[in-house]
Amino acid sequence: MRTLRKPLVLAVVAVTVTVGLAVPATAAPPGVVPSTVDVVLTPGGSTTIAKAVTTSTIPVNPDIVFLADTTGSMNAAIANVRSSIGSLTGTVLSEQPTARFGVAEYKDIKDTIPYRVNLQPTADIAAVQAATTQWVAGGGGDFPEDNINALYRMASGDVNFRAGGTRVIAMFGDAPSHDPSGGHTLLEAIAALQAAKIKVIAVNSSGLDSKKQATDLVTATGGTLLNNVASTAVPQAILDGLRGLKVTVSPTVGACAPELTVNTVPVGSATVAGGQVASFTETITVSPTAGPGTYTCLVDYLVDGVSQGFTQSTTVRVLGLSINDITVQEPPLLGLGSAVFAVTLNAASTAPVTVNYATSAGTATSGVDFTPVSGTLTFAPGETSKTITVPVLGDLLDEVAETFRVTLSGATGAGIVKAVGTATIADGNRNGSYTCQATAAKLIVLNVIGATAAVANPANDPCAEASATLINASLPNGTLSVITGDVSANTNLTPDDQTVLPVAGDGLRSTADVSSTTISLLGIANIQVGAVTANAGFTCTAQPDGSLSPVFSASSNVASLRVNGLNVTVGSGTLVIPLVVGQLRINATTQVGNQYTRQAFALDTVLGTIVLGEAKVGLNGTALNPTANPCVA
């Protein structure tokens, strides 16, 4: 036991810690406010922003080693720390879950064990509790002890501190240290602590700072000194010391556009106690030569040189005007349409912004394909979008897409980011046209049509909607006689107006119907034909690449057939039936180029050909589009 130590004198009476440790009122969460900045500036302009960086109450990712003076007079303080170690570490972990804790002790250099590390930093709180049981008060003998030796050795490699963490030694005792201590001076200990970036918390029960050693240690390492602490209050003092550790906040510019500069006051850094706010005034300046556009900059507010994610992202918008590119559909026939350009300001201005505009021809002809316009746009404060409308003129030509331009110039209050907007006029005329015709019955003699019954759209080209009907029909030709029942023929376009843009499902259909027919030839052949129907057409159909193409389809049917009293099985399939007087062709399709003909019934004889139910459709190309695709404009 010590014999020369002064009695313990307490200047303040602290609250005894028995169950838990006091927790401060909730503060603002750690971080920087504002974390995002979005401003509009002109070239050469600047803005100033007040920044508040709230630090963590307890340093981030701490490695805390409890260093006890375990000489004879420290029994009460040791017991109180040991009994409160669970609450103390639990409170730290609630604020910093990655904290680690170690245990060490020192006595007098003459004692059997003048210093030792009882436990390396660990997350195992039970092990920490157990390590404090190695603290046994005893030894000493003269007033000074030897904490300088302990601090030097702990800073020189005896403790396995983590890289990148906050390193803390929380020392409590009631006497100063020999100096030198174990062969190491106070200055050497301070240098070692600084090199290892260790902060010292000194809890002074009475005489720890009697030689101002503790003051020098905490001042040099950025630690805290708590004086006149009763033995019962040592655990709370350690916690208060952790919360009072000073930290240095340093704004560090990261990825930043070269057009921007960032300056802060105070310059370099600010030092505050943990949990307190480091205040900065930040000035962001745009280069006088910066063009219109959007520029960004990132500032990381480092804490003790380590990034804690306290970042501020700044977006600076230098006023600039842009005009878009558009595609418009040519109006049908000689109609009138509009090309509407959008002119945008990349951010709202506090003052009016003006810009001139004018059209110019590309492959489109001014006055023929579009009406020229010019003028001035004015953006009132706060406005960011305006439009320019250019009349577009329709024509009857099948042509390629054409272009014209609108050019911005002479802007005031902003620069021009994109000066030229291009309009593409998509042709409104289809790339070709249809042909169509439907005939209920006809007689051909010597390759010349001699008689017909119910012909829809006789011209065939161009295709037009038409219909024709007859109640009974007769196609006499001397010894060849054709008598029918009701007949009808129709041609139908979808849509009726072929000047509108084509869509999937558009097309045409030719249809012919004959209710019944009797054919007599030279008195040697009598043919009776039941109901006949025939149709053919094109449908605009989507292809795998998304385009539309006309797809041909046709069908026909002969309900019944009797030749000289004998039944012949027919239907919708294609047949060729030889007769004494010639041959029958049933449900046949012929193609010549892009022209298709579907015939339900055709009788070829030496006297002529009789056709019942004929549907004709075709495609006509243009000089520009000879492949003929009316499904595309």
pLDDT band at 307 (very low <50, low <70, confident <90, very high): confident
pLDDT computed for residue 627 by the predictor: 78
> Where residue 331 sits, what CATH number does that domain have?
2.60.40.2030
- Say whether both 96 and 242 belong to one domain: yes
pLDDT at 399 over 70: no
Of the chain, the percentage scoring pLDDT greater than 70 comes to: 94
Per-residue buried b or exposed e for 245-277, using 16+ beta carbons within 10 Å of the residue's own CB: bbbbbbbeeeebbebbebebeeeebbebebbbe
pLDDT at 12 over 60: no
- Say whether both 354 and 439 belong to one domain: no
More confident site: 208 or 401: 208
Mean pLDDT, the chain, as a whole number? 89
170: left (phi over 0), alpha (psi -120 to 50) or beta: beta
- Say whether both 274 and 378 belong to one domain: no
Residue 506 domain flag:
yes
pLDDT band at 472 (very low <50, low <70, confident <90, very high): confident
Per-residue pLDDT of 49-59, as tens digits, reads 999 999 989 98
pLDDT band at 431 (very low <50, low <70, confident <90, very high): confident
Closest to 77 in 3D by CA, of 208, 211, 243, 221: 208
Among 5-14, 234-243, 395-404, top mean pLDDT goes to: 234-243
Assigned token pair, 345? 């300001």
Range of the domain at 581: 433-620
pLDDT band at 464 (very low <50, low <70, confident <90, very high): very high
Residue 21 domain flag:
no
pLDDT computed for residue 429 by the predictor: 65
CA angle 111, 148, 99 (to 5 degrees): 105
pLDDT at 21 over 60: no
- Say whether both 399 and 458 belong to one domain: no
pLDDT computed for residue 4 by the predictor: 38
Q: Residue 74: helix, strand or coil by DSSP? A: helix
- Tell me the residue type at 34: P
pLDDT computed for residue 25 by the predictor: 43
More confident site: 361 or 401: 361
pLDDT at 11 over 80: no
- Say whether both 309 and 398 belong to one domain: no
pLDDT computed for residue 581 by the predictor: 83
- Say whether both 510 and 533 belong to one domain: yes
pLDDT computed for residue 14 by the predictor: 31
Looking at the structure of the chain, the number of domains it has is: 4
The pTM of this model reads 0.53
Integer CA distances (angstroms), 142 to 116, 149, 193, in order? 20, 16, 26
**CA dihedral for 58, 59, 64, 68, sign (positive or negative):** negative
CA distance 74 to 9: 13
pLDDT computed for residue 16 by the predictor: 30
Of the chain, the percentage scoring pLDDT greater than 90 comes to: 68
- Judge whether 415 and 317 are in contact, CB under 8 Å: no
Residue 25 domain flag:
no
Closest to 557 in 3D by CA, of 541, 581, 539, 575: 575
- State the DSSP H helix or E strand holding residue 437, giving kind and residue range, or none if neither: strand 433-445
Closest to 237 in 3D by CA, of 174, 172, 175: 172
Residue 16 domain flag:
no
Q: In what order do the strands lie in the sheet with 608-620?
A: 448-456, 433-445, 608-620, 595-605, 582-592, 575-579
Domain end: 318, 349, 374, which one? 318
Residue 306's Cβ-side half-sphere holds a number of Cα atoms within 13 Å equal to: 15
Residue 18 domain flag:
no
Strands (E), 308-362: 311-318, 320-323, 326-329, 336-345, 353-361
User: Mean pLDDT throughout 394-419?
Assistant: 85
pLDDT band at 336 (very low <50, low <70, confident <90, very high): confident
- Say whether both 220 and 242 belong to one domain: yes
pLDDT computed for residue 18 by the predictor: 31
pLDDT band at 91 (very low <50, low <70, confident <90, very high): very high
User: Mean pLDDT throughout 449-474?
Assistant: 91
Residue 349 domain flag:
yes
Beta-carbon contacts of 368 under 8 Å, excluding residues fewer than 6 positions away, are 393, 395
pLDDT band at 447 (very low <50, low <70, confident <90, very high): confident
Residue 127 domain flag:
yes
Beta-carbon contacts of 80 under 8 Å, excluding residues fewer than 6 positions away, are 16, 17, 231, 232, 233, 234, 235
Residue 13 domain flag:
no
> Where residue 185 sits, what CATH number does that domain have?
3.40.50.410
CA distance 340 to 322: 14
- Say whether both 386 and 420 belong to one domain: yes
Domain end: 219, 246, 273, which one? 246
DSSP code of 571? S
- Say whether both 490 and 513 belong to one domain: yes
User: Mean pLDDT throughout 257-270?
Assistant: 92
- Judge whether 59 and 168 are in contact, CB under 8 Å: yes
Helix 75-95 to helix 125-132 angle, to the nearest 10 degrees? 170
Domain end: 205, 228, 246, which one? 246
Per-residue pLDDT of 613-624, as tens digits, reads 999 999 988 776
- Say whether both 35 and 84 belong to one domain: no
pLDDT at 351 over 90: no
- Say whether both 291 and 312 belong to one domain: yes
- Say whether both 288 and 339 belong to one domain: no
> Where residue 282 sits, what CATH number does that domain have?
2.60.40.10
